[in-house]
Structure 1
Amino acid sequence: MLELHQVHKTYPTPQGPLKVLDDVSLRLAPGQSLALMGESGSGKSTLLHLAAGLDLPDQGSIALAGHNVASLAEPARAKLRREKLGLVFQQFHLVPSLTALDNLRLQARLANRDEPDWTAYLVERLGLKGLEKRYPEQLSGGQQQRLAIGRALAPRPPLLLADEPTGNLDETTAQEVLELLLSLVRETQCALLVVTHSPQVAAPLDRCLRLRHGQLINSAL
């Protein structure tokens, strides 16, 4: 579902080039879950952005569902994201002018996969029944993140990328949201790549890798 092969990424800084990723390779099979850990500034979010085609590598290749991401122009990468990817971020990135229901359906509509029965099921599973007409500012942080997860999974993407999905939540809410995320991922059978600094988030996933000095190493937590 996702393969990075010998990926390098460097950013210019006033102090000179900063190598963020150094010869990084990984594979994520369909239905598999993978946690990516590392210290702040280790390149975790950069790797996720490259995997999503939001940025391009300096060297190496990135294949998403059989497509070479780095060889695609931005319109084609955007189309690939709509059709193959769900994205969840630490910041919820909900559209403030849309109701909860319209936010939930947004990604599915963009992908031409708006399924009323699946949407109604998600509303129930997300604990948002009766809140469909509320706007994001009228929801709690946990409700907003559950809504963001539902929006990402509404088109039933084969791959979900999540960047610190519980980072803005208190411990109890974070655990509830994580359990919901993993349950819905299993139901949809999509692959999952989670960037996190939390061993509690990484522990239930199939595998864990750690970024250190721009390189990937296996991690047993």
Structure 2
Amino acid sequence: MLEFTQVYKRYSTPQGPLQVLENVSLTLAPGQSLALMGESGSGKSTLLHLAAGLDLPDQGHICLAGQNLASLAESARAKLRREQLGLVFQQFHLIPSLTVIDNLRLQARLAKRDDANWSAHLIERLGLKGLEKRYPEQLSGGQQQRLAIGRALAPRPALLLADEPTGNLDETTADEVLELLLSLVRETQCALMVVTHSPQVAAPLDRCLRLRHGQLASSALL
């Protein structure tokens, strides 16, 4: 589903080039879950952006669903994101002017995969039944993150990328949201990559890799 082959990424800074990722190789099979851990500045978010085709590597290859991202035009990468990817962030990124149900179905509509029955099932599973006509500001933080997860899964993506998905939540709510996320991922059978600094978040996933100074540590595979 996702393959990095000897990927390098650097950025220009006033002090000179900054190497963010160096010789990174990894694979993620369909239906498999992977935790990516590391300290702040280790390159985790950069790797996630590359996986989503939001940025391109300086060297190496990244393939998503069998397609080399660097060989695609930006419009084709955007189409691939709509059709194959779900994205969940620490910040919920819900649209304030849309109701719960319209936020939930937004990504599916953009991907032309809107399914009213599936959306109704998600609303039930997310614990948002009866709240469909509310707006994001009328929800708790946990409810907003559950809605963000539902929006990402509404198109039934092949790969879900999550960046610190429980980072803004208290411990109890974070545990509930993580359990729901993993349950829905199993139900949809999509692959999952989670960027996290939390061993508790990483523990239930199939595999765990650790980034240190832009490199995957040799002992990272658990």
- 2-structure distance, mates of 1:70, 1:118: 33
> What residue is the counterpart of 1:170 in the other structure?
170
The equivalent of 1:216 in structure 2 is 216
Q: Which whole-Å CA distance do the structure 1 matches of 2:94 and 2:71 have between them?
A: 30
1:104 alignment partner AA? L
**Structure-1 residue corresponding to 2:92:** 92
**TM-score when normalising by structure 1:** 0.98
Mapped pair 1:107 → 2:107:
yes
Q: How far apart in 2 are the matches of 1:90 and 1:136?
A: 15
The answer for the alignment partner of 1:50 in structure 2 is 50
Look up the equivalent residue of 1:139 and give its one-letter code: L
Aligned pairs for 1:5-154 (under 5 A) are 5-154=5-154
Shift of 1:70: 1.2
Query: Hey, what's the Cα distance between the residues in 2 that align with 1:90 and 1:72?
Result: 28
What's the Cα RMSD here? 0.8
Segment of structure 1 superposing worse, 67-76 or 24-33: 67-76
Q: Secondary structure at the match of 2:216?
A: strand
Partners in 2 of 1:123 and 1:5 — Cα distance?
A: 38
User: Which residue does 1:199 correspond to in 2?
Assistant: 199
One-letter amino acid matched to 2:27: R
Distance 2:176 2:221 in 1: 24
Residue 13 of structure 2 aligns to a residue in which SS?
coil
Deviations along 1:166-189, one digit per CA (max 9) or x if unpaired, are 000000000000000000000000
| Structure 1 residue 14, shift from structure 2 partner | 1.3
Stretches of structure 1 lacking an aligned partner (at least 5 in a row): none
Corresponding residue SS for 1:17: strand
Q: Distance in 2 between matches of 1:99 and 1:136?
A: 7
Looking at structure 1, the residues matched to 221 and 4 of structure 2 have their Cα atoms a distance apart, in angstroms, of 21
Q: Distance in 2 between matches of 1:136 and 1:121?
A: 19
- Report the count of equivalent residues: 221
CA contact (8 A) 2:41 2:213 kept: no
Distance in 1 separating the partners of 2:220 and 2:21: 18
Query: How far, CA to CA, are the matches of 2:105 and 2:21 in structure 1?
Result: 35
**In structure 1, distance between residues paired with 2:54 and 2:221:** 29
Per-residue CA deviations over 1:61-85 (Å, capped at 9, x if unaligned) read 0000001111111110000000000
Once the two structures are overlaid, the 10-residue window that deviates more, 2-11 or 211-220, is 211-220
1: distance between equivalents of 2:15 and 2:53?
27
When normalised by structure 2's length, the TM-score is 0.98
- Report Cα offsets for 1:44-100 as digits up to 9, x if no partner: 000000000001110110000001111111110000000000000000011111001
Percent identity at matched positions?
86
After superposition, what is the alpha-carbon deviation per residue over 1:155-210, rounded to whole angstroms, capped at 9, x for unaligned? 10010000000000000000000000000000000000000000000000000000
Q: How far apart, in 2, do the equivalents of 1:22 and 1:159 lie?
A: 24
Note the C-alpha offset of 1:219.
2.6
Please name the residue that 2:3 is paired with: 3
1:136 and 1:26 mapped to 2: Cα distance? 36
